[in-house]
Structure 1
Amino acid sequence: MSVEAEQSNNTTFSQSEYRRITTIKTSLNGIGWKENYRATLNEFVCSVNDLVTHGFAFAKFIFLKEFNKDGEFDFNKYVTKAFFQEVLLALVDRKTKEGRLAEKTRDIRQLINTYKDEYIQVSSYIPITLTNAQQIAFYEGTKIHTAYINNVAQHFGNRLRMFLNLISNKKEKIENMTQEMKSKGFTDEEIKSSVRTHITNVCTQLKLNVSAKKFPDIPANFLDKKALEQLQQFLDVYPEHYKFKKDSIYYDVKSSPQNHLRAFYTLAKLCEERKNKSFTCFPLRTSFVPCYVTIDAKILNYHILKRKSFPVGQKHELWKQVINYDCKAIKYSTTMNFEGTLDTDGVGVSLLKQNFSPDRRGTLNVEGKPLKADNDEFRYLESLSKKELDNTLKKCVLIDPGRHDLLFCMHEDSSIEEKKLFRFTRNQKLVETKARRFNKLRKFMKPAYIQELEASLSKIPAATVDLVKYTKYIKRRSKVSQPLKRYYSSEGEFLDRNIGYVYEDSDEDDPAIGIDDTAAATDNICPKPAFECKKSKNKLGTYLSNLRYIHQENNTQIQLAEDDITQLNTVIQQTDEILQKPETTEEGFESQISIVKNLLEETKAKLPTLKFRKMKLQSTINRQQSEKRLVNALKAKFGEDAVLVLGNWSASHVKFHEPTKGKGMRKMLRNEGFEVLLIDEFNTSSICPECNSDLKKFKTIENPRPYRRSKMLEVICHGLLKYEYCIQILVVGIFHLTLICL
């Protein structure tokens, strides 16, 4: 995996003259990290992870306090690397010398110190002792700043469109118009046309006007008084003289995200005022699994080797005391070499290798090599010249990306008689990467007390921009963090379940939770799982499937004694018999539920905790191997010189679905040596390729979603289309251009 960037100038450089940085994914064993330094490394990683977690939380606390005090707080001014570095240093137990400080630094420290004591009291945070922490703050503060900028750049457009749909009541208006027209006997086509004219097109015009920083010119009464006030409040965030690049807020937020930070906060606040679900305006680190930490020679010297002075110019000598320079990942080569910087979470390692010596003076070094950039642009098929098109003859593979079939491929020579097809499905990816197995392990192996603590924490949304709610979230997190951090940071350890830790909340409606798997009045602590509300038989079946999954795991068979395995087999067999007996009463189900549930918790207590960080590393390795298998399969099926023509389809994230790779998939295929082209597939699913007329759905099938059949038994088939005046049926597949003659 390479990370490359380009310095724009008119000079032409050969491949060897470019500066390149490559990241190699491996493990501590892969770089030969010495055993006597592993405990020190793990302690350091956990300490820095705790520091950065509180750094994210403290920064948000400061911003909300300032916004609560002054609505005109200059948010953009303080979202800088220097600010977040000072935030992290403020949370370290160290002596500071004011001395001669720059005015900007003095202003930042004054703002931080105003709220430092209050945050420490609210969060019950004890500043950690971390000498020579400036280098750590530099790296981790940069990561926090990057998180803020990326959050705005990636999500601002979607959140703005969501807000505009919200204030215009688009969903309710469409539902009301549809029901009213159906009751009057209008056809589906007439309803769709009316909705498009009176609602959808108006909403689109509203978004275009706001994008150009114009007050919307839309029909009267389309927006109510409150909606108009909130829209004006959002537009007033930008100064009058500020112009969006290319007259588009969506383009401007991508090119200059730092200018839209305060507007993003305003969006979050307005959405929350409308009782809509909160979204992340201020990034937080909510995971209790330790994250990657950057370590260079200076950090290694002070925090791993525990030296008091840094020997300048001896970084490789320092690293040789900890890692093995003869291992494959680090071994010297004539091109790319390890120059003393890596990232690690105590298990996995991201090793940085480069073809130039690092220089403290900035991006240029003594060799004067520019950085080479990855080209993110992909050419469209129709933009090729006649000569280039001739070169692709008999080589093109048409690929339709999607959610279920991540890639559905067909060679241009494919026919009904001799099909040349290839599919890469989401299910295949989940199996190869073991993502589904890891998710089940995390879910089924989680002890009951951990589930209760997480459910208690989830009562308060971390994304809220309400200061009172956020303060309550910080308090709640501080009270549940100790057992959660211990559970998620341990790697395959046996935890003592009899620790006398008790979670107590000052709220009367939230009683104590014990860490020894017992709880006082737990019915009021957290929402019960969905299966708790079903009949006893279904609930027993769910517990049985959980128990059976744990029983089938290899680690269970290794760790448990023979008597425990026998007990598991007996209970599973008894539960199967009870479920199959039609005469079993509710009392019988409830009695067996108690037995299975207790056995589940007893079995989990006898097993070591999951290795969460190792699973994270394994997931990355599995993904890379899966991609390599995909590339090899494509080359074997279509040849080494195949030209891949992908549809330019893309989709945003959807609930309960894994994100679908678009640009990432194209870049991966191109990096593996394929020539990748795009084709515009707009309307190809809706128009007949023979006569360019509109297609219609026509076949009724059983609802493919079993849980919805009670309300809608039959639905119209989505993928099968026809044109009324053609004698052909169109099966919409690869770019929906394949005709099957009847």
Structure 2
Amino acid sequence: MPPKKKTKDPDKPLENPKGVDFTKHKIPFKSIKTSLKSIIKDSDTQKKINELVIRVNDIVIDTYQFIKLYVLKKLNNNQDIPTLDDAFIKYCITSLGTRDNRGKKIAVTPLLLEIQAFYTTDFQPINNHQKYQLNNLSYTLPYVCSSIEVSIKNNIKEHFIKRLSKFISIFGGNYYEEHYTGELTDRNSKEYKKEKNSLLYKVKKCIIENKPQEIPTIMIGWYNTIKDKIIPNNIDKTMAYDCKANPYKYISISYYLNCEFEKHNDIIYKEIEQWQKKVAKARKDNTIKKYNDKIKELNCKIIKLFQLIPLRNSCVPKYIFIDSATLVNVIGDKGNKGELLEELKTNRDKIWNTYFNMNKPIFKLKDYKFNYTLVTDGIGCSLHFKHKNYKENKKDNANNFESNDLDYINNLSDEQIEEFKNKKIVTADPGKKYLLYMIDDDNKVLKYSSSQRNMESLNTRNKRIKNKNKKQHQEIINAETKLSKYNCKINNYEKFKEYIKEKYKCNKIIKKYYEEELNRKLNWRTKTYRQKSEDKFLNNIEKTYGNKDDILICIGDWSNKNTIKGLGSTMGIGLKRLVAKKYNTVLLDEYNTSKLCCNCHKENDNKVINSKSLFRLLTCKHCNDGSFENLNNPSLKCSKFLNRDINSCVNMQCIVKAYLTENRKRPMEFTRL
């Protein structure tokens, strides 16, 4: 795993002599969620918007598939790919659709001709694709192109370093094991694993920070064989920075990484197949068990592939962007379209009053004005508002609006430190299972778990309703089961064509079911109740710890964008910002807070039961050294049991108290060297 990125260095000296600004500043833009039905004037308008949402969803599904197939063909043939910007995406959508001869014609370029030829020879024959009608989408498609471009860029920006680190851990780790000449002979020992992980971390750091001269000697041979394939030319600063600044450079490298993962998996699958044949021939139960255990062991070595180019696999219609021009173009009467579009800014009030109840209180927000835009999926919608002081010039806005980044505790001023010495300190440990685990100096505990959030937001209930409803449509289950045998993350061009063909057949069966309003209504209900759950949690903080002005909340700076199987996606920085909107909140460097015991500040271990390490249960063998039990029976190994979250929160309490009372110094055990 790559080192976590911090927005601010917690060990830097005080940046702002004035201290942390706890003022709840206005933000330049706001989004208010409501149901489309509650603000629209008539059902015909909602019906037309719903039809537009479904129409755009179909185009987006095919566009993603088209782009990925095009990119795979280029990469399979060792050809350079063009920049996948909004112009390229517009060419792709143009090739997938048709429109009448009215309006401005798209400029014919060599790239457009190449894409159109690719559609004719490669994409269209897969499932006899019928071109979409693109009339009246002139103002909608630019937003679609922009969202697809952002999706492709973010896929690289957010995940490339993690994927590269995974590649180094697996293949670099294999090379290290083959060439290891150290003194440790037990490859399963904790010391060996620690030494190996430490060295691989150095390799990752050297590659990511573009310092090849610092690669450890044992790994130089491996690095020389793969450097041309994983490192692009002309890196700007570091690779971590460059992949965000120039993401398209890393598509071909991502392709190479995924291909290597795929080759690795193919070898594993062949071994599994051989063991399965042995299981079929075996007669003794012990032999069958032995072979099945080997198959399980091999399955654990399979690497999960990633999406080189993101796809939209769901048939549930997604949110689309609607502005004044879209309303006129899609819903407006044919007679006065041109007149309204010519003076669009002047006619905005007239246009929106025609279709929406603009006199409703939801359109009147203090200090904000409606921006005449919304996003909707035909059921729910988000209205966009702009602050009255917002100016188009970014320099002007710098003085009017503050950043929503959270400050570290070291940014507190001397006056604030004196002030918070007399206030209640609440420490909070963020995580996946417990989104926030909070404790104060009186040991009052408040937990906000992912399961609690799912229950209160009706997410669990709504999933159950969806599954129950789906069971009544056996043909949908059969179609999706058949599709599950194909891998959409595959890198092989021909195999991906097979996936597209099967996906098209599946969509023909399941499309109508997923386009029903029930699915979107349940999603909308989950969103509204999720907001209620978050508000309830914020109120519970005040009920548990007292008035919001009398407490300082110190949240650990841990963040992890990965998901854990069975838990789904969880809030990270979003929850921290949510707490900071209501309470005085700072970040705290979590270094060693989980690793060290909260009683003796010595290293603890995860409890192991039946050879399984329990993540949430820690044991400290140092706390009971010399205790009554051990003195009377030295053979008795008595350790103290600790809850991981409480242990971390108590250690953070120790850090904060020391920082506030000991001249901004952390305890040595929790200080980075």
Give the TM interval when normalised to the shorter protein: 0.7 to 0.9
- Stretch moving more, 275-284 or 722-731: 722-731
Q: Specify the SS of the correspondent of 1:89.
A: helix
1:735 to 649, 667, 670: 649
Alpha-carbon offset, residue 56 of structure 1: 1.2
CA distance in 1, matches of 2:516, 2:596: 57
Report the CA distance shift for 1:281/1:307 in structure 2 as closer, same or farther (over 3 A).
same
Note the 1:475-490 alignment, pairs <5 A: 475-490=501-516
Matched, 1:243 2:235: yes
For 1:79-94, list aligned pairs within 5 A: 79-94=84-99
Task: Map 1:98-497 onto structure 2 (within 5 A).
Answer: 106-117=109-120, 118-170=122-174, 173=177, 191-197=189-195, 199-213=196-210, 214=212, 217-220=215-218, 229-235=225-231, 238-239=232-233, 242-245=234-237, 248-275=238-265, 276-307=303-334, 309-310=337-338, 311=340, 312-313=343-344, 314-331=347-364, 335-355=367-387, 363-364=392-393, 375-393=403-421, 394-412=423-441, 414=442, 419-446=443-470, 447-491=473-517
Going from structure 1 to structure 2, the CA distance change for 1:51 and 1:371 (only over 3 Å counts) comes to farther
- The DSSP-based 3-state class of the residue aligned with 1:329 is helix
Contact 2:435 2:572 in 1 (8 A): no
Q: Is the 8 A contact 1:405 1:424 kept in 2?
A: yes
Deviation at 1:657, TM superposition (A): 2.0
Q: 1:97 to 1:215 in 2, by over 3 A?
A: farther
Note closer, same or farther for the CA distance 1:376–1:160 as it changes in structure 2 (3 Å cut): farther
Q: How far is the alpha carbon of 1:337 from its aligned partner?
A: 2.5
93-102 vs 132-141, greater mean Cα deviation: 93-102
Secondary structure of the residue that 1:287 maps to in structure 2? coil
Give the aligned residue type for 1:379: D
TM-score by length of 2: 0.75
Partner Cα separation in structure 2 for residue 232 and residue 223 of structure 1: 13
Checking the alignment, whether the CA contact within 8 Å between 2:27 and 2:402 is kept in structure 1 is no
Give the CA deviation at 1:169: 4.2
> What runs of 5+ residues in structure 1 fail to find an aligned partner?
1-14, 492-610, 704-710
Of residues 543, 557, 565 in structure 2, which corresponds to 1:655?
565
Tell me the distance in 2 between the aligned counterparts of 1:270 and 1:140.
Answer: 33
Total equivalences in the alignment: 563
The superposition leaves residues 192-226 of structure 1 with CA deviations (integer Å, 9 ceiling, x where unpaired) of: 123322x2222122212321342784455x6987x
- Structure 2 equivalent of residue 570 of structure 1: none
For residues 487 and 208 of structure 1, the distance between their equivalents in structure 2, rounded to whole angstroms, comes to 49
Supply the RMSD in Å over aligned alpha carbons.
Answer: 3.6
Alignment of 1:592-603 (within 5 A): none
1:194 counterpart letter in structure 2 = Y
Residue 618 (structure 2) aligned to one of 706, 719, 735: 719
AA of the residue aligned to 2:98: D
Provide the C-alpha distance between the structure 1 equivalents of 2:104 and 2:41, rounded to a whole number of angstroms: 41
Distance 1:72 1:431, change over 3 A: same
Distance 2:479 2:214 in 1: 47
Aligned residues of 1:339 and 1:357 also touching (Cα < 8 A): no
Distance 1:346 1:80 in 2: 28
Other-structure match for 1:535: none
Residue 153 to residue 726, structure 1, CA distance change in 2 (3 Å): farther
Identical amino acids, percent of aligned pairs? 22
Residue 683 of structure 1 aligns to a residue in which SS?
A: coil
Q: For residue 548 of structure 2, what is the aligned residue in structure 1?
A: 640
Give the residue type in structure 2 aligned to 1:25: K
Distance 1:41 1:378, change over 3 A: closer
Aligned amino acid, residue 637 of structure 1? T
User: What does the per-residue CA deviation read over 1:56-93, in whole Å, with 9 as the maximum and x for residues that have no partner?
Assistant: 11111222222233x240x3x42111211222233221
TM-score in terms of structure 1 length? 0.69
The residue type paired with residue 442 of structure 1 is K
Report if the CA contact (8 A) 1:17-1:370 is conserved.
no
Cα offset, 1:155, TM superposition:
0.6
* In 2, Cα distance between equivalents of 1:285 and 1:387: 52
Aligned to 2:19: none
CA contact (8 A) 2:25 2:402 kept: no
| Distance across 1 between alignment mates of 2:460 and 2:493 | 38
Contact 2:557/2:590, CA 8 A, preserved across alignment? yes
Q: CA 1:166/1:731 → structure 2, altered by over 3 Å: closer, same or farther?
A: closer
- Aligned residue identity for 1:674: Y
Equivalent-residue separation in structure 2 for 1:158 and 1:397 (angstroms): 33
Query: Alpha carbons of 1:177 and 1:489: their partners in 2 closer, same or farther (altered >3 Å)?
Result: farther
